[in-house]
């Protein structure tokens, strides 16, 4: 009878797992840290401002800023500064978007889905034709 200690297979060490562990060890961080830094950069577009009544609010779009300006709850000088910050963030995002091609890929994917829809509908309505076998 075979000894079970001798027949146990070990987890294979692949090049991919070895490289991943090495990269993590060299960087001194966990993979989650990368996601955290991306999230922090995404959150950096949010701007906290102090309202006329002393409370603070977080704005993340020009529309929300303009709403606050129309209500008169934000000093126009502060509003101008926040608007400049939000526009600068949008320009950085647009430049990065062009560099990685995200919006272009998203448009192409949407257009492909739009073209595929009528083709799939026509395919589902087309009756199946089976080849005739002669001589059987």
Tens-level pLDDT at each residue, the chain (136 residues): 555 556 666 666 566 666 666 666 666 555 556 556 655 665 566 788 888 888 888 888 888 888 888 888 888 888 899 889 888 888 988 888 888 888 899 999 999 999 999 999 998 998 888 777 765 5
Q: Is residue 104 part of a domain?
A: yes
Q: Is residue 117 part of a domain?
A: yes
Separation between Cα atoms, residue 134 and residue 46, nearest integer Å: 73
Q: Is residue 19 part of a domain?
A: no
Q: How many domains does the chain have?
A: 1
pLDDT at 134: 64
pTM, two decimal places = 0.49
Q: Is residue 7 part of a domain?
A: no
Q: Is residue 74 part of a domain?
A: yes
Separation between Cα atoms, residue 10 and residue 13, nearest integer Å: 9
Q: Is residue 3 part of a domain?
A: no
CB 59 within 8 A of CB 67: no
Q: Is residue 78 part of a domain?
A: yes
Q: Is residue 14 part of a domain?
A: no
- Cβ atoms within 10 Å, residue 86: 20
Q: What's the domain range around 103?
A: 29-121
The enclosing H or E element of 59 equals strand 56-59
Query: For residue 50, what are its two tokens?
Result: 């102090």
């Amino acid at each position: 009878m075979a000894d079970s200690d001798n027949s146990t297979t070990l987890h294979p060490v692949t090049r991919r797992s070895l490289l991943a562990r090495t990269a993590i060890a060299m960087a001194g961080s966990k993979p989650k840290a990368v996601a955290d830094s991306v999230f922090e950069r995404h959150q950096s577009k949010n701007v906290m401002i102090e309202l006329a009544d002393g409370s603070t609010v977080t704005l993340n779009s020009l529309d929300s800023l303009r709403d606050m300006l129309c209500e008169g709850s934000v000093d126009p000088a502060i509003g101008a500064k926040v608007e400049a910050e939000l526009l600068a963030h949008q320009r950085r995002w647009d430049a990065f978007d062009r560099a990685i091609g995200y919006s272009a890929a998203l448009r192409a994917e949407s257009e492909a889905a739009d073209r595929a829809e009528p083709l799939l509908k026509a395919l589902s309505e087309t009756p199946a034709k089976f080849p005739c076998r002669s001589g059987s």
